[in-house]
Amino acid sequence: MAKRTFDGQFIGDLYGHAVKVREICGNSRWSIDYYLVFEHEGKFYSTTYKRGATECQEVDWPKSFECKEVEPYQESVTKYRPVAQ
């Protein structure tokens, strides 16, 4: 599995079309855990990070992040909705 290290400032500044997935993957009393997938130089990478649960909680932001290279794929999902009468 390919890995690459990115600067903490670079990860913190990611926004817009470079971010493919940013979703909550866990939490604790003081922080919220996020799963992030982003595109950089034509490749996709994933990592996780923490943010304070409120504006009063501070979480130490790492100086660097070790990210795994990932690839997009599609899958079919079946969902259900009420039948209209």
Give the DSSP letter string of 44-84: EEEEEEEEESSTT---PPPSEEEEEEE-----------PPP
Which pLDDT value is given to residue 15? 85
Which pLDDT value is given to residue 57? 80
Domains of the chain: which residue ranges? 3-70
User: pLDDT per position in the chain (85 positions), as tens?
Assistant: 799 999 999 998 998 889 999 999 999 988 999 999 999 999 999 999 999 888 888 888 899 999 999 999 999 999 999 999 8
Which pLDDT value is given to residue 33? 95
